[in-house]
Amino acid sequence: FTVWEPYMDVSAVLMGLLELCADAEKQLSSIKMGLPLSPAADSARSARHALSLIATARPPAFITTIAKEVHRHTALQANTQSQQNIHTTTLARAKGEILRVIEILIEKMPADVVDLLVEVMDIIMYCLEGSLVKKKGLQECFPAICRFYMVSYYERSHRIAVGSRHGSVALYDIRTGKCQTIHGHKG
C-alpha cells in the first residue's frame, strides 16, 4: 500500500474494503470451526485483514480519509434533499469495523493517533450512538480513547473535550451531536 498510495484513490480503496467487511461479524460468526469458509466470509475476513494492514502501515492516511468520509456523510445527512449513495450506506454499516481499526491504532500506534486526535474523535463520535454515550459514559463505550490525557468526558453536561497538538480544543456536545472548536491564541 505504501508504494502504490500516491497512484490510487485511497478513499475508494478504503470504502471498498469497508463495503466488503461491513457485515463480517454476521458472516464470520455463522462459520463453524474447521469448516471451509464461504466465498463471502473469506472476502470479509481478507478485507478486515487488509484494512488493518493499511491502517497500521499509514495511520495518517487512514484517519484523514475516514474523517473526510464521515464529514461528507454528515453533510449529506444535513441536506435532506440529497440522495444516499453507496459510500454513506457503507460507512453507516461499517461503524463497528471502523471502531475496531481505530482501537488497533490506539493500541499499536498512539503517537500517530495523538497527532490527529480531533479527527479520530470525529470518527468515534460518528460511530458511537450518542444515547449510549450519555447513558454509560465514554469510558465504558470506548475505553481505548480515554487513555489519552487530552480527552475528557464531563458526565453532567454530556460533553467531551479533546485537545489537539495545535493548541485548539474540540468540544463535542453529545445531546446535539455537534462539535465546536476553540482555537488557541498566543499572548
Q: Split the chain (187 residues) into runs of 10 and give each run's mean pLDDT.
A: 82 92 68 69 88 95 95 79 59 91 96 95 91 87 93 91 92 90 80
Lookup: cell for 74: 454528515
Q: Residue 179: name the closest of 119, 135, 91 by CA.
A: 119
Report the predicted TM-score, pTM, of the whole model to 2 decimal places: 0.87
CB-facing half-sphere around the CA of 127: CA atoms within 13 A: 26
Say how far apart CA 87 and CA 19 lie, in whole Å.
8
Q: Decide: helix, strand or coil at residue 171.
A: strand
pLDDT value at position 32?
A: 59
Domain count across the chain: 1
Say how far apart CA 162 and CA 166 lie, in whole Å.
12
Domain region containing 65: 5-183
